[in-house]
Amino acid sequence: MKTWIGLMSGTSMDGIDAILVSFEDRYIRVHATHTTDYPSDIRQRLASLSQNRGTPDDLGELDHATGSLFALAAASVIEKAGFPPASITAIGSHGQTLRHQPDGSKPFSIQIGDPNLIAEHTGVTTVADFRRRDLAAGGQGAPLVPAFHKAFFSADGEDRCILNLGGIANITHLPADNSAPVTGFDTGPSNALMDAWCLDQTGKAYDKDGAWADEGVVDQDLLGDMLSEAYFSRQPPKSTGTEKFNLEWLKVLLNRHPDLSGADVQRTLLELTAVTVAQQIPHSPGMTIFVCGGGTRNRVLMRELHRTCSPSRIASTAELGLDPQWVEPTAFAWLASRTLSGQSGNLPEVTGASGERILGAVYYA
When pLDDT is averaged across residues 193-207 and rounded to a whole number, the result is 96
Q: Is pLDDT at 155 greater than 90 in this prediction?
A: yes
* Average pLDDT of the residues of the chain: 97
Indicate if 205 and 282 belong to the same structural domain. yes
Confidence of residue 266 (pLDDT cuts 50, 70, 90): very high
Give residue 178's pLDDT.
Answer: 86
Indicate if 293 and 157 belong to the same structural domain. yes
Give residue 283's pLDDT.
Answer: 87
The helix (run of H) or strand (run of E) holding residue 278 is helix 262-280
Indicate if 176 and 138 belong to the same structural domain. no
Indicate if 177 and 285 belong to the same structural domain. yes
Indicate if 127 and 184 belong to the same structural domain. no
Per residue in 97-131, pLDDT tens? 999 999 989 999 999 999 999 999 999 999 999 99
Give residue 11's pLDDT.
Answer: 87
Distance CA 162, CA 206 (A): 24
Indicate if 153 and 279 belong to the same structural domain. yes
Indicate if 316 and 341 belong to the same structural domain. no
Number of separate domains in the chain: 2
Distance CA 240, CA 185 (A): 9
Distance CA 171, CA 354 (A): 21
Distance CA 287, CA 13 (A): 32
Domain residues for 50? 4-142+326-363
Written as one string, the DSSP assignment of 202-223 is HS-SS-GGGHHHHHS---HHHH
Give residue 120's pLDDT.
Answer: 98
Indicate if 153 and 295 belong to the same structural domain. yes
Q: Please give the model's pTM, rounded to 2 decimal places.
A: 0.96
When pLDDT is averaged across residues 244-251 and rounded to a whole number, the result is 96
Number of neighbouring beta carbons within 10 Å of residue 42: 18
Look at the alpha carbons of 94, 326, 49, 98 in this order and tell me if their dihedral is positive or negative: positive
Angle, alpha carbons 121-124-128 (nearest 5°): 90
Indicate if 78 and 125 belong to the same structural domain. yes
Confidence of residue 169 (pLDDT cuts 50, 70, 90): very high
200: phi then psi, degrees, rounded to nearest 5: -65, -35
Per residue in 321-341, pLDDT tens? 999 999 999 999 999 999 999
Number of neighbouring beta carbons within 10 Å of residue 157: 8
Indicate if 179 and 297 belong to the same structural domain. yes
Written as one string, the DSSP assignment of 81-141 is HT--GGG--EEEEEEEEEEEE-SSSS-EEEEES-HHHHHHHH-S-EEE--SHHHHHTTS--
Binding-site residue set for ATP: 10-17
Closest to 166 measured CA to CA, from 240, 103, 229: 240
Indicate if 253 and 335 belong to the same structural domain. no
Binding-site residue set: 10-17
Confidence of residue 12 (pLDDT cuts 50, 70, 90): confident
